């Protein structure tokens, strides 16, 4: 970390403490390629994508997430979907439904990436870590839902980027 001498007070302060508003003070990333799976279960569980940051009081956090998902349904008409929610600690920032409606009685599937960008006023004071993560669930009892997986059964990387922005 770069240091700077503050005028006549002869104190040394990290450069991040004297950056202008809008400066990026901290960058934290999280990533996972571990596949997670739910079927016939409509309760939320962790996706394995998480990142922790200890921001200063009064700053904001830009949260950027890219997470692959896959869902399918077999032998029943209706909706195949996956829900992904983004949390700061235990506070939900967003809940998103992804999927489609099926009209046939054969196996159908869809896959894509969940993309999320959010400017968060975290409320931390510089002494406590803040954890950002995603959770997911299958949309209903007949749906299979995966994260970090594509339709070919290959695992894919999920990423979360946290940028602390000076006030």
Do the beta carbons of residue 62 and residue 118 sit within 8 Å? yes
- Mark 36-66 as b/e (b = at least 16 C-beta within 10 Å): bebeeeeebeebbbebebebbeebbbebebb
Report the topology of domain 20-165.
Jelly Rolls (2.60.120)
The one-digit pLDDT tens for each residue of the chain (167 residues) are: 444 445 555 555 555 556 778 889 999 999 999 999 988 777 999 999 999 999 999 999 999 999 999 988 876 667 788 999 999 999 999 999 998 766 666 777 888 999 999 999 999 999 999 999 999 999 877 788 999 997 778 889 999 999 999 98
pLDDT at residue number 153: 80
Helices (H) and strands (E) in the chain, counts: 0, 12
pTM of the model: 0.84
Which pair of structure tokens corresponds to residue 155? Answer: 């695992």
pLDDT at residue number 151: 72
pLDDT at residue number 80: 82
pLDDT at residue number 105: 67
pLDDT at residue number 72: 85
pLDDT at residue number 103: 62
């Amino acid at each position: 970390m770069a240091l700077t001498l503050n005028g006549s007070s002869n104190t040394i302060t990290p450069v991040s403490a004297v950056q202008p508003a809008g400066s990026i003070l901290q960058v934290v990333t999280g990533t996972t390629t571990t596949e997670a799976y739910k079927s016939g279960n409509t309760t939320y569980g962790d996706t394995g994508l998480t990142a922790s940051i200890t921001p200063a009081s009064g700053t904001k956090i830009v949260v950027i997430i890219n997470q692959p998902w896959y869902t399918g349904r077999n032998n029943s008409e209706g909706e195949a979907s996956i829900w992904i929610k983004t949390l700061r600690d235990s506070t939900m920032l967003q809940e998103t439904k992804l999927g489609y409606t099926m009209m046939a009685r054969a196996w159908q599937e869809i896959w894509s990436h969940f993309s999320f960008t959010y400017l968060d006023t975290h409320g931390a004071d510089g002494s406590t870590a803040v954890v950002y993560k995603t959770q997911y669930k299958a949309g209903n009892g007949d749906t299979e839902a995966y994260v970090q997986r594509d339709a070919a059964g290959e695992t894919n990387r999920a990423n979360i980027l946290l940028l602390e922005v000076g006030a």
